[in-house]
Chain A
C-alpha cells in the first residue's frame, strides 16, 4: 500500500468518532426535552453500563480470560475520581476541563490496579483466574469499607457534578450527557480498533489456543496483562462516570453482584461481540426500569427478579452463544449490502466505517 493511500484512509477514519459523539448529543437534547428527570438518569446509566460491558468483553470475550473482578476496577475508578473532584485544589480548574478529564484519572488508577493484579495472576487459567479476580474485587470493596478518607461504610457524599457549560448552550444534564457520550464513543472506538488490528489478533489467538499462540512466538502473559490493563482503564472510566451521575458512592455498590451484572451483559450480548455488549447493556439497563417496574405496579407483587432470572434462563437455553455470538454489526449480510449501496451512492470506492480492515480491493 502506498503512503498516500494510507494517509487517505487515516484522514477518512478521523471524523466518524466526532460525528458519533455529536449525533449522541443531539439524541441527548431530545431526551432532555421529552422525558422526566428519572428517565434522564437512567439514560446516563446506560452509558456507564455500555463502557463496563464493552471493556469486560475485551478480557473475557476476546482474550478468553474469565474475570469476576470488573466491579473492583470500576470501584477504583469511581472512588479515585470522586475523591479528586472533592479536593478543593481540583475544583479550581475550569468546569469543562475538570469533568471531561476526571474519567481519565479514574481510568489510570484502575489501569494501575489492573497491572498489579494482572501481572501475578494472569499466569493462572480458567477457574483459578476467576477466583483470584473475585478475591481482588472483594479486597477492594473491604478496603474501601475501612478507609475513613473515602467515608468508610458511609460512603462518599455530595460528589460535585458539572454545572453545565452555558457559554456553548449546554445545560448541566446535557453537559453530563456529552461527557458520557464522549467517553462511550472513545471506549468503543479504541477497543474496536484494537481488536481489529494486529494486537487484537494476538488477543484472539490467546483465547483460541494458548499453547499454539506461544509456539508461534506470542508472549501470552504479556498479551493477557495488556488486555487486562486496557480493560481496567475503561472500567475505571465507567466508574468515574457512574460516580458523577449518581453523586453518591458506597462500597456496597461494588459488590460481587455488580461484577456478575456486567458478566450477564456480555454473555447475553455474545462473548466476543462489541455490538452485542452495547445492545445487551442498553436492554439490561432499561428492562428493570421500564418493563419490570410497571408490571410490578400492576400486579402489586415484586416479581422483578423472578422475571429477570426467567428471561436469562430462557435466553441461555435458546441462544447459548448470546444475542450475536461473535458477530458484529457489520458482519450481517444486509448491513454489507447497505454499505455497498451507500458507497455507490456516494460514488466512491467500497469502504467501511473508519475502523475496519481494508477491503481486498484496497489492499491490492
Chain B
C-alpha cells in the first residue's frame, strides 16, 4: 500500500494565448512522499500548482487525485478530495481572528444547519465548541494558541506563514501543496520551517509537494526533486543527482551555448 499513488499528473499543459506556461508536465506523488518542485523564476511552478488544484483548467492532459479525475471539478471540490495548499503571497483571512481562520478551514466537517444556528439549537453549541476545540488543538501544536484571539493580520510574517499551514491542515488533507513557504524568511526561520514540514508530514501522515527557491531547504528535506524550466521538466531525481545535473546548473546559472562556460 505504500506505493499508492495519491496524485498523478499526465502530460499536463497550460497555454495562455500563445504562451505555453506548462508543457507535458508529468508527476506521480506516492503516499508519504516529500517532493520538491524547483525551477528559476517564471519556470511555471505556480502555474503547475494552479493546474493541480483546479484553479486553472489545464489546456491538455489530466490530473488524477486519489483516483478522481479533476477535470470539470471546482477548486473547492478538488480541495474536498483531500488536497490543500498554501499560497506564495500569504492569503489569510486578514480581519478574522487566528482561531476563526482555522475554524473556517474545518467547516466542511461541521454538522449543523443554518436553522440550528438561528434557533441556537443545542447542536449549535455542541458543534461550535467542537470546532473551536479542534482548531485550538491544531494551534497549540504550532504554538499559536496564545494568539488565537488576535486578528491574523497582526501576526509577524513568519507566524502568518505558519498559520497558513495550520489552516491548510484544518481541512484534514492527505496531500498538501506548499507554494514557497520559506519566501521572505531569514535563515533561522527557514531552519524552523524545515523541521516543521518534516514534523507535520510525520504527525499528520501527509504527502507533501513543495515549491521552493531556497536550495538549502529543498535539498535538506526533499526525497525527490523535479526541476522545471520554461514549463518543461528538465530533470528529476534525488537531491544529490539534481545538484550535479548539468541541465539544472545551466537553467539556474545560465550557460554560454558554445563553451558551456558557467557565468
Contact = CB atoms under 8 A, between A and B. Distances in A.
A354 B120 contact: yes
Nearest to B110: A198
Interface in B29-73: 53, 55
A81 B127 CA distance: 37
Contacts of B130: 1
Nearest to A2: B126
B74 A219 contact: yes
A5 B100 CA distance: 23
A216 B78 CA distance: 10
B75 interface: yes
B122 A217 contact: no
A190 interface: yes
Contact of A198 (B79, B92, B117): B117
B95 interface: yes
B79 A214 contact: yes
A10 B122 contact: yes
B257 to A, nearest CB: 40
Contacts of B142: none
Nearest to A362: B129
Nearest to A220: B76
Given A194-B117, A197-B128, A214 B123 contact: no
Contact of B117 (A197, A205, A209): A197
B26 to A, nearest CB: 24
Closest 6 CB pairs of A and B: A208-B93, A6-B122, A197-B117, A1-B129, A212-B91, A13-B120
Interface in B124-166: 124-133
Contact of A201 (B100, B129, B171): B100
B85 interface: yes
Given A198-B128, A209-B94, 13 more contacts: A1-B126, A3-B122, A6-B124, A9-B120, A204-B96, A204-B104, A208-B95, A209-B91, A212-B92, A212-B93, A214-B74, A216-B104, A217-B108
Interface residues of A, number: 41
Nearest to A16: B120
A219 B79 CA distance: 10
A17 to B, nearest CB: 10
Interface of A: 1, 3, 5-7, 9-10, 13-14, 189-190, 193-194, 197-202, 204-205, 208-209, 211-220, 226, 326, 354-355, 357-358, 362-363
B133 to A, nearest CB: 7
Contacts of B170: 216
Contacts of B100: 201, 204
Contacts of A204: 93, 95-96, 100, 104
B189 to A, nearest CB: 22
B93 A209 contact: yes
Nearest to B123: A6
Given A3-B122, A198-B131, A216 B96 contact: no
B104 A202 contact: yes
Contacts of B114: 194, 199, 226
Nearest to B131: A198
A216 B105 CA distance: 5
B52 to A, nearest CB: 12
In this complex, the member of A200, A218, A358, A362 whose beta carbon has the largest number of chain B beta carbons within 10 angstroms is A218
Contacts of A5: 125
Nearest to A364: B133
Nearest to A230: B114
A14 B75 CA distance: 39
A10 B85 CA distance: 37
B121 interface: yes
Nearest to A226: B114
B76 A358 contact: no
Interface string B73-92: 01110011000110100011
